[in-house]
Amino acid sequence: MHDAVEVIVAKRDGAALSDSQIDWVIDAYTRGQVAHEQMSSLAMAILLNGMDRREIARWTAAMIASGERMDFGALSRPTADKHSTGGVGDKITLPLAPLVAACGVAVPQLSGRGLGHTGGTLDKLESIPGWRAGLSNAEMMAQLEDVGAVVCAAGSGLAPADKKLYALRDVTGTVEAIPLIASSIMSKKIAEGTGALVLDVKVGTGAFMKDLDKARELARTMVELGTDAGVRTTALLTDMSVPLGLTAGNAIEVQESVEVLAGGGPADVVELTLALAREMLTGAGVTDVDPADKLADGSAMDAWRRMISAQGGDPDATLPVAQESHVVTAPSDGVLARLDAMAVGLAAWRLGAGRARQEDPVQAGAGVRWHARPGDVVTAGQPLFTLLTDTPERFDRALASLEGGWEVAAPGTEVTPGPLLIDRIA
Active site residues: 83, 162, 169, 184, 188
366 alpha carbon, distance to own chain's centre: 19
What ranges make up the beta strands (E) of 302-415?
Answer: 324-329, 334-339, 367-370, 377-378, 383-389, 406-409
What region does 390 belong to: left with phi over 0, alpha with psi -120 to 50, or beta?
A: alpha
Closest C-alpha among 198, 126, 102 to residue 364:
126
Residue 364: what are its φ and ψ, rounded to 5°? -65, -35
- Residue 28 near residue 63, CB atoms below 8 Å: no
* Backbone CA torsion sign across 295, 301, 307, 313: positive
DSSP code of 17? P
Burial class of residue 416, CB neighbours in 10 A (0-12, 13-18, 19+): exposed
Cβ-based neighbours of 62, under 8 Å, separated by 6 or more = 22, 23, 26, 27, 161
Measured CA to CA in angstroms, residue 395 lies from 24, 94, 155, 368 at distances of 50, 28, 36, 11
Cβ-based neighbours of 393, under 8 Å, separated by 6 or more = none
What ranges make up the beta strands (E) of 138-223?
Answer: 149-153, 196-203
Helix axes 299-310, 137-146, angle to 10 degrees: 160
* DSSP code per residue over 246-291: TEEESHHHHHHHHHHHTT-S-HHHHHHHHHHHHHHHHHTT--S--H
102 alpha carbon, distance to own chain's centre: 22
Rg of the chain in Å (alpha carbons): 22
Closest C-alpha among 252, 290, 247, 244 to residue 268:
244
- Residue 200 near residue 238, CB atoms below 8 Å: yes
